[in-house]
Amino acid sequence: MSDHAQIVVDIEVSAEQAPELTNIVRAWLVGEHIIEQEESDSVLGGTGHRPGINYRAAIGIDTDGKARLQRLLGVAIVSPTWRAALEEAIEGPTYQESFLGLSTNGVELAVGRRVFDAGGNGIELQCDACSVSFEPDDSWFDAVGAWFGGDDLVSFPCPSCGQQALLTEWRGPWPWGFGNLGIAFWNWPPLSDDFIHAITRKLGHRTVRVRRHL
Ligand SMILES: [Zn+2]
């Protein structure tokens, strides 16, 4: 199967602050039992922390997926094959739990100046000024290269209205993140907005949420 990651990128922390802040957030996640303390080979190309016993605190509640299936079973005329499949879905692990069995399900705390791209999800941005959504052309990569080279103030113009914004401030349906600290949740179910807010408060900086697909 393919892998995906939800990455919370701190777009404000300095390179000097990042290691200490990483340890603070790691200790908080471990203390809340959202991740396990020990690191293991649970992320792609590095080490990560597997889900802890309280991992549900980080994810949105499945709005009664099983109850919906149960109702469907009650009202729908279904073939025996479908009935068996529905019953299995009701009895079996939920979508939220199924990632626990994956070999790649760790949380990686990546420190250091990095471009957190969306992988196979590509990139799609939206202009604050004119609301146009667009996929940037190759000049985007020139700006990304300049940022990676150390230019925090590199900007990029909207191709439609020309409005300039800092590279790091571009958002949209499929944004990229630029920063010195990214916390990647590999193959986790959708993180809840409450949890994103909690981790953002812990970081004490603004964050961008990148959805990466490989
Ligand atoms: Zn625009």
> How far, in Å, from the CA of 125 to the mean position of ligand 1?
10
Sign of CA pseudo-dihedral 74, 190, 211, 125 = positive
Percent of the chain with pLDDT over 70: 93
Distance 126 CA to ligand 1 centre (A): 8
- For residues 169-180, give the mean pLDDT: 97
**Chain mean pLDDT for the chain:** 92
Q: How far is the CA of 130 from the centre of ligand 1 (A)?
A: 4
- pLDDT of 112-136, one tens digit each? 999 999 999 999 999 999 999 999 9
Of 17-21, 58-62, 202-206, least confident by mean pLDDT is 58-62
Ranges of each domain in the chain: 4-59+102-213, 65-99
Give the CA distances from residue 70 to residues 91, 94, 109, in Å, rounded to whole numbers and listed in that order: 10, 13, 39
What torsion do the CA atoms of 128, 134, 140, 143 make, to the nearest 10 degrees? 0
**Phi/psi at 145 (5° precision):** -65, -40
Distance (Å) from CA 178 to ligand 1 centroid = 21
More confident of the two residues 33 and 77: 33
Please say whether the beta carbons of 165 and 93 come within 8 A.
Answer: no
> If you compute the radius of gyration of the chain from its CA atoms, what whole number of angstroms results?
20
Q: Answer whether residue 65 shows pLDDT above 70.
A: no
Residue-wise pLDDT for 5-15, tens only, equals: 999 999 999 99
Task: Record the pTM.
Answer: 0.86
The rounded Å distance from CA 133 to ligand 1 centre is 8
- Say yes or no to pLDDT of 167 above 60: yes
Going from the Cα of 177 to the center of ligand 1, the distance in angstroms, rounded, reads 20
pLDDT at 163 over 90: yes
CA of 139 to the centre of ligand 1 (A): 16
107-116 vs 4-10, strand pairing mode: unpaired
Please tell me the distance between residue 160's alpha carbon and the centre of ligand 1 in angstroms: 5
> Is 63's pLDDT higher than 60?
no
pLDDT of residue 67: 73
> Distance between CA atoms of 49 and 128, rounded to whole angstroms?
37
CA of 129 to the centre of ligand 1 (A): 5
The alpha carbon of 136 and the centre of ligand 1 are apart by a number of angstroms equal to 12
Task: State residue 43's pLDDT score.
Answer: 95
Residue 25 and residue 202 in contact, taking contact as beta carbons nearer than 8 Å: yes
Reply yes or no on whether the pLDDT at 66 is more than 90: no
- What is the structure's pLDDT at 87? 76
Distance from residue 107's CA to the centre of ligand 1 (Å)? 35
Measure 155 CA to ligand 1 centroid, in angstroms.
13
Question: Percentage of the chain with pLDDT > 90?
Answer: 79
